[in-house]
Structure 1
Amino acid sequence: MSEKELTDLIERIKERRLKLEMSYQDLSDATQISKSTLQRYETGYIKKVPINQIEILAKALHTTPSYLMGWDAPPSPSLSLTQQEETHIKKYRQLDADGREDVDDYVDMKLAKLQRKAEEGAESLG
């Protein structure tokens, strides 16, 4: 891997990590790669990123190894999830139909409450 390819790889890793609002610790937790190693990759201190770690990083960063390597275009804009949002989705998927309905009802109730507050705030301004 040339110096330019390594620099581009590192930049793509950093860009994806920041876009997903992941700290080094978040990425470390998702990949089992130490936080210090991840920091050394991004600072360029480590000059080689093993291919198996590129695959692991791509999965944790919701992209492909091909994108990280610069072989493919960036992933199409889709909904990027934070680690907390992913955790909620995983938990939601473990619920039975009744549990999911309860969660849906609760979310709808909270959103309706926020909407009412926003409308009340707009009325008091106008």
Structure 2
Amino acid sequence: MEVGERIKQRRKELGYNADYLASKLGVSRSTIFRYEKGEIEKLPTEVLEKLAISLNTTPGYLMGWTEKPQDKLLNIYNQLDSKKQDEVYNFAKFKLNEQNKEIFTIAAHSDDPNKEITVKEFDDLNRYLDEADKNFDDK
């Protein structure tokens, strides 16, 4: 599989459309399609790194040098007995809950304890959090 095919496959796995990925990278939609079709053969390192981050993978995977990080994890998981698989699952679930709590705490934090937010700021924050929650649920 070529680099462009990996980019497209990973984008679709994540449920991203080309417009969304383009906005994350700060490029046009047509540039994303050119990457996916292999029309831009030599991707600059910075672009490759941004693509990998945006697609939750590694530059090595996009280039075809390594397998997906998820596949490596799944390969190890499948070699464990069922009791140890349950332990890994429970640990991962715990870490995800911990991470989700951190995200909420960061969003609700203010450096100035005396700052009073306006109704508009409050509404904007709620809209942002609702959108983030919706995007999280969609993936």
| TM-score, scaled relative to structure 1 | 0.55
Q: Which residue of 2 aligns with 1:43?
A: 37
What's the CA shift string for 1:1-52, capped at 9, x where partnerless?
xxxxxx6111111111000010111101111122111111112232322221
Q: What aligned pairs does 1:1-126 form with structure 2 within 5 A after superposition?
A: 8-76=2-70, 92=104, 93-95=106-108
Name structure 2 gaps, 5 residues minimum: 74-99, 110-139
Task: Letter of the 2:37 partner, please give it.
Answer: T
Contact persistence 2:18–2:32 (CA under 8 A): yes
Supply the distance in 2 between the matched residues of 1:74 and 1:89 (Cα, whole angstroms). 27
Using a 3 Å threshold, how does the CA distance of structure 1 residues 89 and 41 change in structure 2: closer, same or farther? farther
Gaps of 5+ in 1: 1-6, 79-87, 97-126
Q: Alpha carbons of 1:90 and 1:40: their partners in 2 closer, same or farther (altered >3 Å)?
A: farther
Runs of 4+ in 1 over 3 A off after TM superposition: 88-91
**How many pairs were matched up?**
81
TM-superposed CA distance for 1:95, in Å, is 2.4
TM-score, normalization by structure 2: 0.50
Q: Percent identity at matched positions?
A: 38
Aligned partner of 1:64: which letter? T
Counterparts in 2 of 1:89 and 1:50: CA distance versus 1, 3 Å: farther
Mark the CA change 1:91 to 1:19 in structure 2 (over 3 Å): closer, same or farther. same
RCO higher in structure (CA 8 A, sep ≥6): 1
Supply the RMSD in Å over aligned alpha carbons.
2.5
Evaluate the alpha carbon distance shift between residue 34 and residue 90 of structure 1 in structure 2; reply closer, same or farther with a 3 A threshold: farther
Task: Write the letter of the residue equivalent to 2:47.
Answer: Q
